[in-house]
Structures are given as structure tokens and as C-alpha cells.
């Protein structure tokens, strides 16, 4: 069995029983990507040439029981050499305690069920000037046909021609998702598909801007998105040896088998890079047909821009729209993410709670006596950390026992599965939020 090298021993440690969750608090802020993006023309002209003639390759380059080559410890979702995303990491606030010794706080796991995809109707203080993650200043958008399946060229050339987003997968939807993501309004996974998460993101953007809210793309929304967003939408990225190292073998569903592993890491280079660049893995592979997923290969990826740096003073969990909204000290909405909330049988809390602490790279304690039983597992199990663990790569602990905000091993599942009461989001959104909150930030659950 392939085993990943264990992470470095953190400076602070706490066993946090969360229904059970034990967390290993990683030290320091998550790594950030650095560098500059290639131009739209470069991507359009060179991506095909770079990918032409390359053969398929496995992500890890190993089979059977062969050990994955070790590399210096790194954050699974952080940056490695070769990235071209802009710099700008936010240090973890000193007032926010990383989870240390003691206490028990349960957390949920995935459960089947439907989550609402309704429009985000917002609140009175939700309207504000757009806060973007990219550069500022209007940039002329490329013109040209966006018809056919999304390609790097079509995404760069896509422009709005009227009407709602087309059904199915399209370049204009992919471009809209990228623009929303850069504006702090996460569409979840960027995949080019029209759907509930994209519509709820447009509704959240309309709410923030003070527009009429219908969740549909129109000229007013398009003009606002493109007025302060730089081109290009994509960038070239060369896969590094670090990207290829520290991968896990395919992970079983059985918790008992997961507990035998050292780490629940990414299982392929494509999965690792898809999360780093906020993309659906299949969409990443579609944009790079025939690519060899190995060190040295140059691929086209989304340029999501740098993480937000504006501190979050208040959070709303908007249950009807399945969205999380974050506000600064002046009451301006600075971020908005799609989330999974509890079902009618296992609801998320009501009222207002506070952020208590943050754990990066948490482990997970499974205790069937305190929560649910998974399969035939009737004994306590400690699952190792990693982005493919039950709570993903981040746990934000709340003052209400057993509840938290956290990542997920399956970003595709947002809006498709209900939680056991906690609030689940993509790993990259959870990582961004973790660096913007501090102890005492209020979290209001809005019915």
C-alpha cells in the first residue's frame, strides 16, 4: 500500500473529539502561489502546441506497492514551485487560537439528501462596492465566438451576447465562473456547466451590487464583473516534482481501512492541481487533452487571482440559498461561498455563535457511540489528516458544541448532499476563510 510521509510535527497540538473529530493544528499560514500569468494570446497560441503529441501518464508514476518518492513536507492545497499566481498571503491572526489540548466537539460526515439551490436574497447590509481578488482597472474583453466545447481559446474570447447562460457546458459559463471567483463570489468548482451553484453565485453578486436579484446573467451583471477584472482568464503552469510527490493510492470508503493510512492525500496530480486552481478535475483534463500528468508538462489552468485580504468581522450562513456570506467591519459583503448545510433530520443550528479556533490539516475521530455508524465499524477510529479526509483540509471551530465550518473531500457534492448539521465548503474556500477570521467573529444562521 502506498503511504505518504507524515507531516511535520506541529508546534501546538490538541486532540479535539468531534463526533467525533481530533485535529492536528498545522503551524503557519498556508502556502501561496507566486509569479505572473502568461498573456491570453500566449495561452491560445501555445497550449495546443505544448500538449500536442504528449501521452497519457499516471499521476503518481507508481503501481502496486511501490512507494511514492518523498519530498519536503508541503500543504496539499498550497503552492509549489512553478506556479504563476500572484502573491499575497495573510498571516494567521494572533488572536485566533489554534486548536490545542482538550475538549470534545463532534462533527458530521456526508449524508444523502438535497440541498436548496434558491437565490440568495441577502440582507440590508449586503450591498456594497465590489471587492475583487484581481487587479483593478477596466480591461477590454476579447471578442470572438464562444461556441462549442470550452477550450482555452474559447474561454479567453468569450463575451456576453445577451440572454441567460446557455444550458450545458460552455466557454461563457466558464468565464463567468472565473470572474465571479475573482470577485470574491465563489461558484464552487469552475467547470463551465450552468447549474445551481453558478446561479446562486450570480444571485449573491447581484445582492452585493444592489441589482435586482434573479440569479441570471444579464448585461448589467456582465459589465460589473468585467469592469474591474484583468485578462487573461487562464495561465500556463508547469507541473513540478513536488506536485508529483506525496500522493496517496486510491482511497477506500471504509473508515477502518482509512484509519490504517498515514495520510488522506490527493490521489493524482490532476486532483491536486484542480483544487489548487479552483477547478473541477474533469474540466482541467478537458482543457488539456492528451497531457502527460507528470513533472515537466505545461498545462492551462484557471488564474483565480490572489486570496482576499480583507478581514471578516461577521459571517452569515444563509440556509435557503446554501451560501455563506462574510462581511467586513463596515458591514460590506466581501466574500460569498456555496455551502452544504444540514437536512431536516439533522439540521444546522439556529441563532448566532462565534468562531473559537481554527485547525489546518485536521485529523478525524470516528466514534459510533456518539454519532453515526459507518458500515460495520462499531469501534472508535482515528482517521489521519489530509484534504480527502471527512472534513477536508480546514476545521473552523464554533462556540456551539459539535459544530464547525470545514472543507470537503468532494467539492462536486456541494448542493447535492446534506450534512449532519455542520457547514461544508470547498477546501480552497475554507482555506481562504481560515485566514480572514479571528476568535470572536460572529456566525449567524439565517433561516
How many residues does the structure list for the chain? 447
Cell of 295: 513533472
**CA–CA dist 42, 356 (Å, integer):** 46
Give yes or no for a contact between 299 and 239, defined as CB atoms under 8 angstroms apart. yes
Q: Cell numbers at residue 358, please?
A: 481554527
Predicted pLDDT of residue 349: 66
DSSP output for 133-168: SS--S--PPP-S---SS--HHHHHH----SSSPPSS
What are 234's three cell numbers? Answer: 487562464
Is 97-115+308-446 a CATH 3.40.250.10 domain? no
> Quick check: helix, strand or coil at residue 224?
helix
CA distance 362 to 22: 7
pLDDT given at position 47? 42
Cell 487571482 sits on residue: 305
Please identify which residue in the block is written with the cell numbers 473552523. 396
CA 330 to chain centre: 26
3-state secondary structure of 257: helix
C-alpha–C-alpha distance, residues 184 and 208, integer Å = 11
- pLDDT at site 312: 98
Catalytic positions, please?
406, 422
Digitized pLDDT (tens) for each residue of the chain, 447 residues in all: 322 333 333 333 333 333 333 333 333 333 333 333 444 445 444 444 443 433 333 333 332 332 223 333 333 333 333 333 232 333 333 334 444 322 333 333 333 333 333 333 333 333 333 333 333 233 333 333 446 789 999 999 999 999 999 999 999 999 999 999 999 999 999 999 999 999 999 999 999 999 999 999 999 999 999 998 878 999 999 999 999 999 999 999 999 999 999 999 999 999 999 999 999 999 999 999 999 999 999 999 999 998 899 999 999 999 899 999 999 999 999 999 999 886 555 556 678 999 999 999 999 888 888 777 889 999 999 999 999 999 999 999 999 987 899 999 999 877 665 555 579 999 999 999 999 999 999 999 998
Residue 55, all three cell numbers? 501521452
Q: Tell me the C-alpha to C-alpha distance, in Å, between residue 61 and each of 191, 209, 238.
A: 26, 48, 17
Amino acid at each position: 500500500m502506498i503511504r505518504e510521509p507524515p507531516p511535520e510535527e506541529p508546534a501546538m497540538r490538541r486532540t479535539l473529539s468531534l463526533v467525533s473529530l481530533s485535529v492536528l493544528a498545522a503551524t503557519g499560514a498556508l502556502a501561496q502561489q507566486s509569479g505572473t500569468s502568461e498573456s491570453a494570446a500566449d495561452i491560445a497560441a501555445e497550449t495546443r502546441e505544448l500538449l500536442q503529441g504528449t501521452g497519457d501518464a499516471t499521476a503518481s508514476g507508481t503501481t502496486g506497492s511501490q512507494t511514492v518518492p518523498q519530498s519536503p513536507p508541503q500543504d496539499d492545497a498550497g503552492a509549489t514551485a512553478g506556479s504563476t499566481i500572484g502573491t499575497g498571503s495573510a498571516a494567521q491572526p494572533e488572536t485566533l487560537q489554534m486548536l490545542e489540548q482538550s475538549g470534545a466537539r463532534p462533527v458530521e460526515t456526508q449524508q444523502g439528501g438535497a440541498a436548496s439551490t434558491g437565490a440568495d436574497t441577502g440582507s440590508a447590509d449586503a450591498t456594497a462596492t465590489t471587492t475583487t481578488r484581481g487587479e483593478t482597472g477596466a480591461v477590454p474583453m476579447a471578442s470572438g465566438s464562444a461556441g462549442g466545447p470550452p477550450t482555452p481559446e474559447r474561454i479567453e474570447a468569450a463575451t456576453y451576447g445577451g440572454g441567460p447562460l446557455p444550458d450545458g457546458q460552455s466557454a461563457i459559463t466558464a468565464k463567468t465562473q472565473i470572474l465571479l471567483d475573482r470577485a470574491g463570489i465563489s461558484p464552487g468548482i469552475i467547470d463551465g456547466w450552468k447549474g445551481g451553484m453558478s446561479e446562486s453565485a450570480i444571485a449573491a453578486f447581484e445582492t452585493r451590487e444592489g441589482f435586482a436579484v434573479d440569479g441570471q446573467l444579464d448585461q448589467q451583471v456582465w459589465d460589473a464583473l468585467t469592469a474591474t477584472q484583468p485578462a487573461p482568464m487562464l495561465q500556463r503552469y508547469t507541473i513540478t516534482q513536488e506536485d508529483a510527490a506525496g500522493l496517496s493510492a486510491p482511497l477506500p470508503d471504509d473508515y477502518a481501512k482509512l484509519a490504517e493510512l498515514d495520510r488522506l492525500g490527493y490521489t493524482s496530480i490532476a486532483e491536486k492541481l484542480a483544487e489548487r486552481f479552483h477547478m473541477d478535475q474533469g474540466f482541467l483534463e478537458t482543457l488539456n487533452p492528451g497531457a502527460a500528468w507528470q513533472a515537466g508538462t505545461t498545462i492551462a489552468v484557471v488564474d483565480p487571482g490572489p486570496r482576499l485580504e480583507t478581514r471578516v468581522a461577521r459571517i452569515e450562513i444563509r440556509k435557503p440559498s446554501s451560501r455563506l456570506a462574510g462581511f467586513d467591519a463596515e458591514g460590506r459583503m466581501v466574500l460569498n461561498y456555496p455551502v452544504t448545510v444540514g437536512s431536516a433530520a439533522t439540521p444546522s443550528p439556529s441563532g448566532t455563535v462565534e468562531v473559537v479556533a481554527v485547525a489546518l490539516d485536521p485529523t478525524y475521530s470516528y466514534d459510533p457511540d456518539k454519532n453515526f455508524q459507518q458500515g460495520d465499524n462499531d469501534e472508535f477510529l482515528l482517521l489521519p489528516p489530509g484534504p480527502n479526509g471527512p472534513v477536508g483540509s480546514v476545521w473552523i471551530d464554533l462556540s456551539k458544541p459539535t459544530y464547525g465550518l470545514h472543507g470537503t473531500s468532494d467539492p462536486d457534492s456541494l448542493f447535492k448532499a446534506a450534512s449532519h448539521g455542520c457547514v461544508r465548503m470547498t477546501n480552497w474556500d475554507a482555506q481562504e476563510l481560515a485566514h480572514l477570521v479571528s476568535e470572536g467573529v460572529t456566525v449567524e444562521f439565517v433561516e
